[in-house]
Structures are given as C-alpha cells and as structure tokens.
Amino acid sequence: MRNPYVVGRWVSGQNHYGRQHVIDTLLNSPETEFWVVGTRRAGKTSLLHQLEHLTDREGCSWVPLIWDMQGCETSGDLSDELYMAVEDAHQRFEHCGVTVRRLAGLDATVILARLAESIGAAGKKLLLMADEVEVLLRIARSEPAWVTRLHAALSSGNQKTILTSTQLLANLNRLCVGNAHTPFLQNFNVIHLWKLEPEVAAALVEQRQSDEPLAVAPEIIAAILDHTNCNPYLIQYLCHRLYHEADGAFLGFARRTRPTSTRTTCWLGCSRLTYSTCRRCSARSCFCWQSAPGLRTIGSRVCWLTSQLRNSRRSCGGWSVLGRSVWRMDAGRLATYSSGNG
C-alpha cells in the first residue's frame, strides 16, 4: 500500500482534514472581504483549494478562482498570473459568458472587473482567492498607485475576496493606502489558522476519510499529537516517516537514508546535522532507531525519534522541540511552524 500521507504540496477533497468552521464562515458569511492569516505550512493554500473543490460544481452560486501571487515582482507579473489562472479554469468561466481569450494582455484590475461583471450577469458571484499575497509588499514600494487600484478592484462588492498570507502582510497598511485613503487591509475580516482540533488531528493520523483507513494504536496517536501540537503539516511529515509502505502500517521509526557524505540533508531539511553510524545495520543514518537500545515498543520509538530532534538542536543550528517551537532560518527571516504563535 502506498504511503497515504501527503507532504510538500497542497491537499483537497478527502485528503483535507478540519477547518470546517472556517470554511462555513468564508462561504456563508455576508461579509465579502477576508484575510486568512497563518504561519508557513499552516494549511492556507490547502484551505483555498478545498474551497475551490467545494464550490466548483453545478448549482453552486460561487465561481472560484485561485490567484497564486508567489514569485510575482511587478503588476505585469500579477496580471499575467491572473490571466493564466483564468485560462486554466476556462470552462467554468465560459459557462458564465466570459470570453477568456479577450482577457489576454489586460491589467489585472480590468480582468477582475470584467470577470465580476460577466459572472454577475449569469446570476453568480466570483469567489476570488489570492494566495501568497506578501508579494504586494514589494510591489507597493515601486507601484503604490497600482496597488491602490487593486484595492478598489478587490473591494468592489461584486465578488467575495479571500487573501491568505502570514502576518507580514500587515505592513502593507503603512506602505500603501487603499481606496478612499483607508489602510489597505482595514475592511478585511481577519481569520487566524490555528492548530487542528485533537479529534480532527487523530482522524488525519488514521486517515479516516480515505478508502483504506489505518489502524493506529491510541498511544501512538497521543504521542504524535503531543509532539506535533496538532499542526497539520508536522503530522503529515512525521507520519510519512513513520509509515512503512511494504507492511502498510506504522513501524514507529524514520526510514533510513544513505547520504553521499557525512554532511548532507536530513528529513527535516537541515543540512548541518552530523550523522552517526547505526551499530546494527552499519548504515549512516539521520535518525535510526535500531542504534538506540531498549526501543521495543512503537510508542518508545516515536518518543525516541522526537527526542533526537530535541537533542539535535545544537548541531542543527536552530531546531527545537518538534511541533511546539519548530523553527529555522528561512531566506533570512524566522519562520515558525508551530500553531498559535503566528
């Protein structure tokens, strides 16, 4: 059986767990402007794709559009990215009377206005979801007037707008004012993405929404939730390492890696970890439970694995207790993965 845990990309459908209260608020609230705030790896992108999954169906009053702003450096880049997003989902827009090819080369503010108008004429509303919105901080410094026009387009009232980012986006209020000289984010309702509820986190560990749910011992679930603090990314990452595909079950230890040198990358992505040799299998390994004596139960192996993360803090140059304050320096700034500290 393949490994059921998803690491490194967004999830939706039966792979998406929790956030139901947030989803209900975003879809059913009469408010039209939302800012979803969360730390890196908190599940912001997955939330948007889950909203798209739920609304991209016949009979729904919303027409979803995900605008991924990551990597854009100018207003032209954002306009091109928005057009490509519309083009990728051209069928849902053409059903509403939008001629997608006529949007090519237009400014993003014009594209949004035409989409909202055509979709409104079809008796529906545009559900605009912008991801990685922090890029507006850089663009606002060079093109403040354009960002002001974008604010007017996002706040037109002809659509529902959902922005996702970290708290860094709050700096946009002092860099650029929006329509009617108000701070850009003033009218956006803030929703924070915290950790998953324990019952939802346990369901994620056992993959209860999948066609082949797993049987995981209660003490193992408790250990995983304790060490990950119910963070969805950390749960997926740790479980991905503890699951053994050949047996279709948890073995309670991280799979061995064979680095090309003594200084390489461990499964948490840290390149400064010093590897040790397993006394039993003679393989150089990041974390190898066979090299630790007395680990006869699966629960002790999970605890031992996370204890190695704690002990590796000095050698890794910044890793702390998994799930409670897991952090590292990323692109020159501190990025925290633990929920509730954003």
- Residue boundaries of the structural domains of the chain: 19-192, 198-336
Distance CA(33)–CA(196), nearest Å, equals 24
Residues of the chain with pLDDT under 70: 176-181, 245-342
Q: Residues with Cβ < 8 Å from 93, sequence gap 6 or more?
A: 63, 86, 100, 115, 118, 119
Fold of 19-192: Rossmann fold (3.40.50)
Q: Residue 305: what pLDDT? A: 57
Torsion of CA 235, 241, 244, 250, to 10 degrees: -50
CB 299 within 8 A of CB 217: yes
Q: Cα(first)–Cα(last) distance of the chain, in Å?
A: 36
pLDDT of the residue at 242: 83
The token pair at 308 is 């190695």
Q: Given this model, what pLDDT does residue 327 score?
A: 32
- What pLDDT is stored for residue 120 in this prediction? 95
pLDDT score of 326 = 33
Which amino acid is it at 296? R
Q: Provide the 3-class DSSP secondary structure of residue 79.
A: helix
Specify whether the CB–CB gap between 67 and 131 falls below 8 A. Answer: yes
pLDDT in tens, 69-103: 999 999 999 999 999 999 999 999 999 999 999 99
Q: What is the pLDDT at residue 2?
A: 83
Taking the C-alpha atoms of residue 321 and residue 306, their distance in angstroms, rounded to an integer, is: 8
What pLDDT score was predicted for residue 251?
57
Give the per-residue pLDDT at 292: 38
Taking residue 340's Cβ as centre, other Cβ atoms within 10 Å add up to 15
Angstrom distance (rounded) from CA 184 to CA 139: 13
Residue where the block lists tokens 């989409």: 115
Summarize pLDDT for 285-317 with one digit per residue, the tens.
Answer: 333 333 333 434 555 555 655 555 455 433 333
